[in-house]
Amino acid sequence: MLETGIDIIEVKRIEKSIENPVFVKKYFHPVEIEYSKHSAQAAQHFAVRFAAKEAVRKVLLSYIDNLSWRDSWIENDANGKPYLHFSEEVHKKIKIQYSSVSVSHTNQTAIAIVIIDIDGDANSRQ
């Protein structure tokens, strides 16, 4: 089943939270932390990755009951293009044939859209 998820968030919602290392570690994969924390637009990078996790949740929570914030994350290739990654726990529960993510951010807003192709249908919860 080919599914779409989308999420938009205010960058300022995340700006304060990322000052707290406990929050950062709880929500973000080490790859995302490393990519985002050194940037002058750190809050935008973190915010859009948070939006991507919410977008993934909109799709995967119809298929699996428990999804942690670190079960999906974004990695960027050498050109900067973002790719979705999923934890072993997710791969054990569902078969993902294909996934794609696109993100955009401004000083105020971050938006992410994901496309995920999953074997089976939304009723086949694990």
Ligand X SMILES: CC(C)(COP(=O)(O)OP(=O)(O)OC[C@H]1O[C@@H](n2cnc3c(N)ncnc32)[C@H](O)[C@@H]1OP(=O)(O)O)[C@@H](O)C(=O)NCCC(=O)NCCS
State the minimum distance, in angstroms, from the CB of residue 59 to ligand X. Answer: 19
Please report, as ranges, the residues that interact with ligand X according to CB under 6 A: 45, 48, 76, 79-82, 103-105
User: Which residue, 93 or 105, has its beta carbon nearer to ligand X?
Assistant: 105
What is the Cα–Cα distance from 38 to 21, expressed in whole angstroms?
A: 14
In the complex, the smallest distance separating the C-beta of residue 79 from ligand X, rounded to whole angstroms, is 4
**Residue number, nearest CB to ligand X:** 80
Q: In the complex, what is the shortest distance from the CB of residue 55 to ligand X, in angstroms, rounded to a whole number?
A: 13
Kindly tell me which of 41 and 62 has the beta carbon lying closer to ligand X.
41
